[in-house]
Amino acid sequence: MSHATRLALGSLLAAVFVAGWAGFRIQEQGGRDEQRPADAIVVLGAAQYDGRPSPVLEARIRHGVALYDAGVAPLLIVTGGKASGDRTTEASAASDWAVAHGVPAAAILSEDRGRTTLESLEAVSAILLERGLRSAVFVSDRTHMLRVLRIATDQGITAWGSPTRTSPADAGAGTRLEAIVHELGALVVYFVGGGHVVIEDQLASSPWARPIPGRVARHSDGIRTIPSWRSGRAHLYSAELPTHRDRPAHPTAPVALPAVPMVC
């Protein structure tokens, strides 16, 4: 066997190992319900049909409302913008559903511009920082949970996951496998892009999606700069807020990605 053949075989085996381990981690994290008292509950957006949540979005917001009713957090944050041609946003559809099911409108905040997980979570991070909030329980599908928590943690949020168990996106073996493959690709692209790219949309086609290196910077005058993915502008907050490293480590850290060079 030639050196090139051995190298190619070794690379293939390494890739299979990494994919297998990451797939295991996706399923493992999706099997955990880490709900606990937090500053906010964040429900990730999904498709809506003219203001009516799709089955996937309804499963997510239903679980988020159940967490709110259980007293997990006093604030519900819904996310998601709208696709071209839509008349309303995913966040608006989720918010309307939550209000119709008993959540006070004053307890709901909306992130209604993001078209990807990363865009939405960057905006959620700014919302939390602006209000001096530090922690959140995130709601999405089981297969989506690992990536959501990794991005949220990278954004400086103390994050825990509480996946919905009723989403049709990962209900059957076939759909779950498809979702896992999607997440594997999304995680690879996220890490390869240095945390600036996700796989769901072609961000370059959006005129306002301009990634900016470095999300949070501490200044000597006590002002923190939060670069915005969407607008390309830096939002300034005069309050000196605690950084991620200032927070006490939790004994059950929500995200532990494989320590393999190709992934992390």
pLDDT tens, residue by residue, 26-76: 888 888 999 999 999 999 999 999 999 999 999 999 999 999 999 999 999
Which pLDDT belongs to residue 222? 33
User: What is the spatial distance between Cα 155 and Cα 215, in angstroms, rounded to a whole number?
Assistant: 8
Could you give the domains of the chain? 29-201 (3.40.50.620)
Least confident range of 7-11, 56-60, 184-188? 7-11
DSSP assigned state of 58 = H
Specify the DSSP element, H or E, that contains 227: strand 224-227
User: What is the spatial distance between Cα 132 and Cα 241, in angstroms, rounded to a whole number?
Assistant: 7
Averaged pLDDT of the chain = 75
Specify the DSSP element, H or E, that contains 106: none
User: What is the spatial distance between Cα 237 and Cα 125, in angstroms, rounded to a whole number?
Assistant: 12
CA dihedral 84, 86, 91, 94 (to 10 degrees): -140
Which pLDDT belongs to residue 95? 97
Q: Encode pLDDT of 64-108 as tens digits.
A: 999 999 999 999 999 999 888 889 999 999 999 999 999 999 999
Specify the DSSP element, H or E, that contains 175: helix 173-192
Which pLDDT belongs to residue 190? 81
Beta-sheet strand order (sheet of 76-79): 108-111, 76-79, 40-43, 135-139, 158-161
Q: Encode pLDDT of 237-246 as tens digits.
A: 223 333 333 3
Determine contact, residues 77/124, Cβ cutoff 8 Å.
yes
pLDDT band at 171, cuts 50/70/90? confident
Structure tokens at 238: 């005069």
Which pLDDT belongs to residue 17? 66
Q: Nearest Cα to 97, choosing from 36, 39, 40, 54?
A: 54
User: What is the spatial distance between Cα 127 and Cα 133, in angstroms, rounded to a whole number?
Assistant: 8
pLDDT above 80 for 152: yes
Structure tokens at 143: 């297969």
